[in-house]
Amino acid sequence: MDVLITIKEKITVEEALAFIQTPTCGGEVIFAGTVRNHTHKRAVTHLFYECYEPMALSEMRKIADQVKEKWAIEKLVMLHAIGALYPGDIAVVIAVASAHRGIAFDACEYVIDTLKETVPIWKKEFFADEQPV
């Protein structure tokens, strides 16, 4: 399984696609998490993502190892953005390529669910109805 794990300021779906596309695979499943313009009906102006980078990368590698053990996945990409993000910006991209689409869906959902539970990244929300700090 080829793995690409990246934490950086700006991420794109295209770079994930470029990594996973291969003529040997039939199915690619991609999850993109974007910044919403509201949380519980409160308008969000922007987010700030903070990260304990060496541990975050290590936890992401652990997830990749779990995927490799559980499913016959050929390629896996995990990208996470950090810093200031605005509504519509992409915060996270998970991309999986496999010869079988069913396990590609399962693996992709597993990765994003687990990432949200274990990877030390924190989101701070800034609201429109808040005093600027």
Where on the chain is the footprint of another protein (CB under 8 A)? 33, 49-52, 54-56, 58, 80, 91-92, 112, 115-124
Q: How far apart are the first and last CA of the chain?
A: 45
Beta strands 90-98 and 27-34, pairing class: antiparallel
- CB–CB of 78/8 below 8 Å? no
Report the residue number, 32 or 84, with the smaller CB distance to a copy of itself: 32
- CB–CB of 72/99 below 8 Å? yes
Shortest separation between residue 1's beta carbon and another protein, angstroms: 21
Give 104's contacts (C-beta < 8 A, 6+ positions apart). 27, 28, 29, 73, 96, 97, 98
Among 4, 105, 114, 125, binds a copy of itself (CB under 8 A): 105
Q: Candidates 28-36, 51-59, 66-74, 120-128 — which segment interacts with a copy of itself by CB under 8 A?
A: 28-36
Residues that bind a copy of itself (CB under 8 A): 13-14, 17, 21-38, 87-88, 99, 101-102, 104-105, 108-109, 112
